[in-house]
Amino acid sequence: MSHSTGIETNGVEQIPADQRDASPLDLFRLIFGGANTFATAVLGSFPVLFGLSFQAGVWAILLGVGIGALILAPMGLFGALNGTNNAVSSGAHFGVHGRIVGSFLSLLTAVAFFSLSVWSSGDALVGGAKRLAGLPETDLTLGLAYGLFAVLVLVVCIFGFRFMLWVNKIAVWASSLLFLLGIVAFAGPFDAGYAGSVNLGQAGFWAAFVGAAILAMSNPVSFGAFLGDWSRYIPRETPKARIMLAVIAAQGATLIPFLFGLCTATLVATQAPDYIAANNYVGGLLAVAPSWFFLPVCLIAVIGGMSTGTTALYGTGLDMSSVFPRLLSRAGATLLIGVLAIGFIFIGRFTFNLVQSVSTFAVLIITCTSPWMVIMILGLITRRGFYHADDLQVFTRGQRGGHYWFLHGWNWRGMGAWIPSAAVGLCFVNLPGQFVGPLGDLAGGIDLSLPVTLGLAGVLYLLLLNLFPEPAGVYGPLGPRWVRCKSTAHTPVTTAEMA
């Protein structure tokens, strides 16, 4: 597939070397394009919603994005090493059947972030059009805006990787320029001394600060399951440092929409506090914006909604086609997931008013995805980046056996570390008024879910690898790093007896 307008035919099978012509810069564009949107600006507004000052909000965002970017960076390597997406690559550490954990997590993440992106962009578009041209803000106009975004995103995803790349090349520059134009729009009334309602030394400060940092961190972590969807087109011999730097740089660039959200939220809190009280950042932004900025708001909504939606939905369609390889092509799976997600968007918005719930849902998904990422990264390190790429495709081909068959296709070392880590992490979640786990109040209201789940996953996985060594065949000629191995022959690959 040599041009951007043909429908991509590649599924999760290993991408042939002659088609792997993407670069780390392309990876940067896709990651940044997927986050350079109103959905990220909304995340940037949370420090103000939590009552923090502008300066505390800046530190919370820098901390969250920085830690999240460092955790995310190695997840860009699997695609280039194995020529497939991250869920399939996870079969090396969870077993060729256990890789469905990654598929399930990516499906939940995609639906949540696709919904948030369509809702926030749709609301901004209709709100901007109302102020600009008097368009009434009704369920009908909102529904039409959501439908427009959802269908546009679905079309881009069905056409595939190269068309997405072309869309994101435009989106990255356009959205960035429009956000930077916001500096001109709001520079006059902006006050960097905004004090907030909860300051250092007061009760609840650290709970608000950690909560804001974790929400900022959820943005980079949400990309963990998807990076392989794009990096699988990067040649295998590309230096690992360049790929990881592209990931970190893309997350650093997301500080543009994050800080736009934070700065404008302080203005909304000062000039239109009712919107902050109602958790309606987008409405408040439109209320305080100068009239000439309404058109840029509409453009950010359209362009940003397109790029975020495509990065979320594309990978899930790709992955579902591999879980049901005999039933669904990549385009067919994308269409099916897209139609279901669109149904969820409309039912959730107009029947159950799930917007608040989905933001909570997103945090809970991140709590389950982050230990999965830790296990993947530690697996990458202990195996010194060595993989039998062909054996990862056993499940997709309807076969059994290979180096990653372990126990009937499940590696209970990875599974045994992930399940308790995710479960304990959920117990420590503390989102006041939304979801508080049974252990969420142990630290005086501070949300400890991510540090607990990340640390527990790392300790448990390394412990299990040492207590129950993996076969030597999964390691390269240099052998394992940090752990022991046993000399056991791997199961030969055979065709599975399909029921």
Residue ranges of the domains in the chain?
16-353
> Is the per-residue pLDDT at 338 higher than 90?
no
Q: What is the mean pLDDT of residues 116-142?
A: 84
Rounded Cα distance, 91 and 194, in Å: 49
On the question of pLDDT at 497 being above 70, the answer is: no
Query: How does the average pLDDT of the chain come out, rounded?
Result: 86
Residue 292 pLDDT more than 60? yes
CB–CB of 138/166 below 8 Å? no
Average pLDDT over residues 206-214: 89
Backbone phi, psi, residue 495, to 5°: -75, 130
- DSSP category for residue 175: H
Average pLDDT for 94-118: 86
Q: Stretch 243-255: mean pLDDT, rounded?
A: 96
Which CATH number applies to 16-353? 1.10.4160.10
Query: What are the phi and psi torsion angles at 5 (to 5°)?
Result: -100, 0
The pLDDT of residue 218: 85
Q: Is the pLDDT of residue 205 over 80?
A: yes
The per-residue pLDDT for range 383-428, each reduced to its tens digit, is 999 999 999 998 888 888 999 999 999 999 999 999 999 999 999 9
Question: Tokens representing 351?
Answer: 């029947």
Strand partners, 302: none
User: What pLDDT score was predicted for residue 423?
Assistant: 96
Average pLDDT (44-54) is 91
According to DSSP, residue 225 is labeled T
The contacts of residue 283 (CB under 8 Å, 6+ apart) are 123, 127, 275
